[in-house]
Amino acid sequence: MLVTQNITEIRQARWADPASTWGLVPTMGALHAGHISLAERAVAENDKSCATIFVNPTQFAPTDDLDKYPRTLERDLEMLEQAGINMVFTPTPAVMYPDGFGTRVLVDGVTDRLEGEHRPGHFDGVTQVVSKLFNIVQPTRAYFGQKDAQQTVVLKKLVRDLNFNLDLIVCPTVREPDGLAMSSRNRYLSAEERQHATVLYQSLSQAAEMIENGERDAENIRQMIADKVKSTPHAELIYSSVASNLDLSELETISGNILISLAVLVGDTRLIDNFMIDGIEPM
């Protein structure tokens, strides 16, 4: 497995056999089973696959957890090699943003809501770094997790609007046995907080059950989630949302294809999760 910080080496390896298809798995490292499911899918569906490990400073606000974001490079590389990845791009901030760098890539509309509303500028950093990674690797397919649902909506728009020549593949969220979505940030949770962190999955499961049983008032779902989080020790709701899965606008009446999502502070750790439900019939 080639591991390099060098863009020219990545390009040379990428184009050594121009007929090969390439899968790309962009990550910020601190890998877990969720990332590895993306890597395995990229390996299965392409001739060759590239992962990237870069904790992108431009998607963190000054108050965010950039400095304490976990860095576990050696273990990450072992996991990627085992998954069958062919090359790993591990650039430094100076490689990605050299002196004089000054280009931004802004996606309108879908970046303003949910995570975007609570983390201003976050998606501008994501679209900036992902555009660069797409241009550096020029993959045939790029793999992202459903856990970051809004990120996938934003990146699909980026690919469409800027005509990136690749297929963006969204892979299912990988969960712990008790339902907690895998996340690099889960390792910050104390044992007690970890127990209560299941409130995200439990709220989403209850929401899905309410809809299955005929609930069509979106506000009732948002309120149920808020109440459930409020009654959970160590948990503080940041937002609960029942939105159209196309433009992420909040719904009044539930029908069609929807995204139910929430962000919760558990102790000091910010967790997100979501369910996508398709084809809901009006009552």
Site string for ligand PAF, 56-95 (x = CB under 6 A): x--x------------------------------------
Query: What would the x/- binding string for ligand PAF be over residues 112 to 151, using CB under 6 A?
Result: --------------x--xx-----------------x--x
Using CA atoms, how far apart are residues 174 and 162, in angstroms rounded to an integer?
30
Q: What are 174-178's contacts with CB under 8 Å, separation 24+?
A: 174/32, 174/33, 174/34, 174/37, 174/145, 175/201
Question: Which CB, 49 or 151, lies closer to ligand PAF?
Answer: 151
Complex with ligand PAF: residue 27 or 49, whichever CB lies closer: 27
Helix (H) or strand (E) holding 238: strand 235-244
Residues 43-62 that bind ligand PAF (CB under 6 A): 56, 59
Q: Which of 23, 26, 116, 267 binds ligand PAF (CB under 6 A)?
A: 26
Q: Strand 235-244's sheet: what is its strand order?
A: 235-244, 256-266, 269-280
d(CA 224, CA 202): 11
Position 27 contacts ligand PAF (CB under 6 A): yes
Which of residues 168 and 218 has its CB atom nearest to ligand PAF in the complex?
A: 168
Q: Is 37 in the site for ligand PAF (CB under 6 A)?
A: no
- Binding status of residue 203 toward ligand PAF by CB under 6 A: no
| Residue 90 or 195 with smaller CB distance to ligand PAF | 90
For the bound state, the minimum distance from the C-beta of residue 39 to ligand PAF, rounded and expressed in Å, comes to 13
Structure tokens at 141: 């397919």
How far out from the chain centre does Cα 275 lie? 13
Q: Which of the following is catalytic: 32, 35, 196, 234?
A: 35
CB 243 → ligand PAF: shortest distance, Å?
Answer: 20
101 close to 128: Cβ distance less than 8 angstroms: no
Number of amino acids touching ligand PAF (CB under 6 A): 10
Q: Which of 13, 24, 28, 114 binds ligand PAF (CB under 6 A)?
A: 28
Q: Reply yes or no on whether 32 is catalytic.
A: no
What count of residues does the chain have? Answer: 283
**C-alpha to C-alpha distances, 36 to 26, 39, 172, nearest whole angstrom:** 11, 5, 12
Helix boundaries (H) for 62-148: 73-83, 93-96, 114-118, 122-137
Q: How far is the CB of 148 from ligand PAF (least distance, A)?
A: 5
Where do runs of H (alpha helix) occur along 178-217? 191-196, 199-212
**CA-CA distances (angstroms) from residue 129 to 88, 105, 136?**
16, 9, 10
Closest distance between ligand PAF and the C-beta of residue 200, in Å? 17
Pair 248, 122: CB distance under 8 Å: no
Give the residues lining the site for ligand PAF (CB under 6 A).
26-28, 56, 59, 126, 129-130, 148, 151
